[in-house]
Amino acid sequence: MGFFKHLRIRRPGPGRPWPPGRLALALQGGGSFGAFTWGALERLLEEEAISFDAISGASAGAVNAVLLASGLASGGRDGARKILDDFWTHVSHPNLFLPIARLPLDFMTKALTPYQFNPFDLNPLRDALNAHVDFELLRKANGPKLLIGATRISDAGLRIFSRDELTVDCVLASACLPLLQHSVEINGEHYWDGGYVANPPLTPLVVKTEASTVLIIQISPKRADIVPRSRADIERRIDQINFCSTLDREIDAIRQLAPLCAAGDSSGKWARLRLDRIAAENEVEALAQQSAGNLSWSFVSKLRDAGRAAAEGWIAQEA
């Protein structure tokens, strides 16, 4: 009854409070589109009735998940809002990525590998994360469960990094784009962006969380109104399709799994399971034609505002 075949908002059953007191978050990756998630989280943090039980993320979703959890650990809801604001303001600085962007991006990715055009593995994201996240405190503090996904290069498998083992390298592994960055080695294993196999990790989140309401924040566009013609547009659309298809496969798997799990679940979580989704493409016109590498403040702040509006609508529609 609470499981949404088409992920459309439905009214909860009689006596079921809204908004939910306990929420699990699944945060999709998609580069600078992650600013939409920033705005959504900012609005959710203002809702005192909502607590966060577990958060999964890949790529930019992993970054936002860690920022949220770190801020909650260091300063509560106000601390989480501040760290998200500070980080996204930091990465939208126009000079942040200059050390690795002195050559045209198309030339670099088509003619060279990151091991050639960036031999010293300069990664401004590492500096930004270290500047804003206290990973030691994050590992030790109580707070929402974290499931950060990365792709093992050796067998195309999903690696989930949990809260108690998180380091900056785990987040960089989840956000590692292989044509732009060196693979990230952790304990002898090499990783690429988690979005290739789980964007975000949804099934592990549903299994792990004690919450019966899961909110998916989707930032990679599923729909495109224009058939791409240029090489850059085609490559962008291929990435969008790949990142969305992994999410759709997980949703289908849960759709089939939920009734089976509900039959033997004494807690009742699976019988009450509710999946909701807010999507950036529903709030931002022609998002599929935009670049996920655009970190200009005007674009980032536009996405943030759209995320806030989407979360506001999600909260208010059941009131």
Residues with a catalytic annotation lie at 59, 193
Distance separating alpha carbons of residues 45 and 64, to the nearest angstrom: 13
Distance separating alpha carbons of residues 285 and 302, to the nearest angstrom: 11
What's the sign of the alpha-carbon dihedral 258, 68, 277, 239? negative
State the residue for tokens 């549903």: 206
Distances (CA, A) of 20 to 188, 202, 315, 319: 41, 19, 9, 11
Contacts of 53 (CB under 8 A, 6+ apart): 22, 23, 24, 144, 145, 209, 210, 211
Angle between helices 34-45 and 297-316 (to 10 degrees): 40
Alpha helices, H only, the chain = 34-45, 60-91, 105-111, 114-117, 124-132, 135-140, 168-174, 203-208, 231-263, 269-272, 297-316
